[in-house]
Amino acid sequence: MLQFYQRPSLSLTTPPISLLLERGHATTVSAVLEKQVNYILKGNQCKNPIICSSRSAKKNWKKRYVLREIRKLLGVRKNGISAIFENNYNEHASNLKDGDSWSSSMWSSIIKHLNSLYQFSRPHTVIGTIIGITSVSLLPVETILDLSPRFFMGLLKALVPSVLMNIYVVGLNQLFDVEIDKVNKPYLPLASGNFSIETGIIIVAACLLLSLAMGIMFQSPPLLAALLISFALGSVYSIELPFLRWKKHAFLAASCILIARAMVVQLAFFVHIQKFVLGKPIVICRSLVFATAFMCFFSAVIALFKDIPDVDGDRDFGIQSFSLSLGQEKVFWLCVNMLLLAYGAAVAVGTFSPSLLPIKLVTMVGHSTIAWILWRQAQSVDLNSKYSITSFYMFIWKLFYVEYFLIPFVR
């Protein structure tokens, strides 16, 4: 007896691999393939009728038909992965690639802005501020008991607002020197366009307000005085207004740097730690006098030397630096000789110091070694190369850092 049966019809749609993986239904290529085949077998309905001679014929025919359709559907390739699996895999990989690309782009943007902020802060000056304040804060320490949590909290209260004020000063200078920096320092964020002027203003204003707010909150008059003096000197140095913009005049520019780096840092933070942190009466010690005198020389050298690689931009924009009026070579050797004189004086101070012999040796040998290294480095500088001069200027900043490690040994 003839019976009508439906012809099996297999759908080409299979569950996506990403769905199987996310639900934990499959973890390997073979498992994914098996799940997809089972889905085809179980999820499709017979729709088209065919004529079979018996139920057995129907059963055998259906089995052969399904197997034939599966082989056609899967179309196994040379690499053993089905076309279905490969298509779904490619789709899933494409989605992952898009997500990874977006994530990579986001991190690249974050890193770029952090690097720009790092450059905007002029890190060599920030490092100098941190090392200088830390070194001077150790001068009032007489015994190991003075290195208490109170001392470290007082040091932190000095460092944080001072670093913020440092960023205000160097940031303000960049805001008013954008065109000059396009010639002298085109890598800086404002000059290169990595930061907009609005971004620079926001950073500078935020650092200033936070610094002064902390100075008031911490209730230390010498700390607040140091911040206010730094604010005043940094402002008159850079701002383009009548009677200001002191950086245009070599002597006034050098005076700003000398007062801030040599006098304010040494005196204000010494008193801050001695009286308002450790609670001791103010006593001017030998090491403080040495630090102030030595840093007057060093700050003057930094003020003079920083303009040597910048003569092109300074000439174009009317900045009357000593390097323009005297010449780069004369200012270069003037700076080197001033430092050698300061190191020689430091050796003499160590020689006649009443301190113990090991401490005297640190002072004498340390400064003698630095003077020798300075002389050797100075001989190799090419004064016709801006890169060579700038590298030596950064070397001077490293000597500045090292000196603050030696100052506490002068007793």
Q: How would you write 155-173 as a 3-class SS string?
A: HHHHHHHHHHHHHHHHHHH
Question: What is the band of 204 on the pLDDT scale with cuts at 50, 70, 90?
Answer: very high
pLDDT of residue 406: 94
Give residue 355's identity as a one-letter amino acid code. Answer: S
Q: 231, 260 in Cβ contact below 8 A?
A: no
Q: What mean pLDDT value characterizes the chain?
A: 83
pLDDT at residue 45 is higher than 50: no
Check residue 106 and give its pLDDT: 83
Can you tell me the mean pLDDT for 43-48?
Answer: 46
Q: Are 300 and 258 in contact (CB under 8 A)?
A: yes
pLDDT at 71: 55
CA angle 188, 264, 407 (to 5 degrees): 95
Q: What's the whole-number mean pLDDT along residues 283-291? A: 93
Q: Which residues contact 9 (CB under 8 A, 6 or more apart)?
A: 44, 45, 46, 47, 48
Q: How many residues does the chain have?
A: 411
User: What is the pLDDT, as a whole number, of residue 96?
Assistant: 53
Of 17-21, 64-68, 328-332, 398-402, give the lowest mean pLDDT range. Answer: 17-21
Encode pLDDT of 82-101 as tens digits: 444 455 555 555 655 556 67
Q: Which CATH number fits domain 121-284: 1.10.357.140, 1.20.120.610, 2.130.10.10, 1.10.10.10?
A: 1.10.357.140
Percent of the chain with pLDDT over 90: 63
Classify residue 246 by its DSSP letter.
G
Q: How confident is the model at residue 273 (pLDDT cuts 50, 70, 90)?
A: very high
